[in-house]
Amino acid sequence: MALQRFTDQEILDFYRNIGQIHPDVYGLFNKQAFARLLKTGAREEVAEEIVYESWVPLLLKLPKFVPKGDGSLYAFFLQTCLRKFFTWCRQNKRKPPPMPEITDPEEGDWEERKELMMRYLQEFRDKVLKGKCRELMHYRFAENKSHAEIDQIFGAKNAEGTSSSKNQLYRCLNKLRAQFKNFGF
């Protein structure tokens, strides 16, 4: 079921006449803000909590809200969500997912430890990198494909005839390095 779209004026009129926000507005705002927080890097449970906490400032502001254009209510709501998320990150020093339990070398199997560590790194990579970056890294490092093979898969070459996957992979690796630094590595 698709959610109905509302203008700011319709939301305000409904609120002033009935005294509550239309249920579809809750659904629409929650869904969009939740998706945005996940893209920003929030974990699901944190994003969900922040979205629900962000309704309080909006509901307090709603009786005297003056729209500055269509979408300004949602923009205010999203700004509130993002501010709360960045505050949460500062307060919690934004730690990476917990490291897997790894036994001492003499106690366990090396292959099992290697597999655990690879799984952890892949989970981290998958949370940080999206779309084409994830695919590029998979082909290059998991399947050991050359840049020429990757270019054939994506059907891409630069105008100069050089490998575009090499340039894109370089940018993706820099993005991953930056995220590692953000997590304190």
Mean pLDDT across the stretch 21-47?
84
d(CA 141, CA 147): 11
Amino acid (one-letter) located at 96: P
More confident residue, 59 or 120: 59
Split at pLDDT 50, 70, 90, the class of 185 is very low
Mean pLDDT across the stretch 66-83?
81
Mean pLDDT across the stretch 149-167?
71
Question: Lowest-pLDDT range, 10-14, 60-64, 122-126, 137-141?
Answer: 122-126
Report pLDDT digits (tens) over 76-98: 888 889 888 888 887 877 644 44
Question: Which pLDDT does position 102 carry in this prediction?
Answer: 43
More confident residue, 181 or 140: 140
In contact, 3 and 28? CB cutoff 8 Å: yes
Average pLDDT, the chain: 75
Structure tokens at 109: 């199997």
At residue 122, what are phi and psi to the nearest 5 degrees?
-65, -40
Burial class (CB in 10 A: 0-12, 13-18, 19+), 93: exposed
Question: Lowest-pLDDT range, 1-5, 14-18, 71-75, 169-173?
Answer: 1-5
Domain boundaries, the chain: 8-92, 123-182
pLDDT above 50 for 103: no
d(CA 167, CA 158): 9
- 72 Cβ contact partners less than 8 Å away, ≥ 6 residues apart: 8
Instruction: Give which of 10, 16, 130, 127 is closest to 73, Cα–Cα.
Output: 10
At residue 106, what are phi and psi to the nearest 5 degrees?
-75, -15
Instruction: Looking at 62-130, list the stretches that DSSP marks H as alpha helix, in order from N- to C-terminal side.
Output: 72-92, 110-128
CB atoms within 10 A of CB 62: 16
Instruction: Give which of 46, 14, 17 is closest to 33, Cα–Cα.
Output: 46
Most confident listed range (1-10, 84-93, 172-181): 84-93
Coil/strand/helix, residue 153: helix
Mean pLDDT across the stretch 116-122?
70
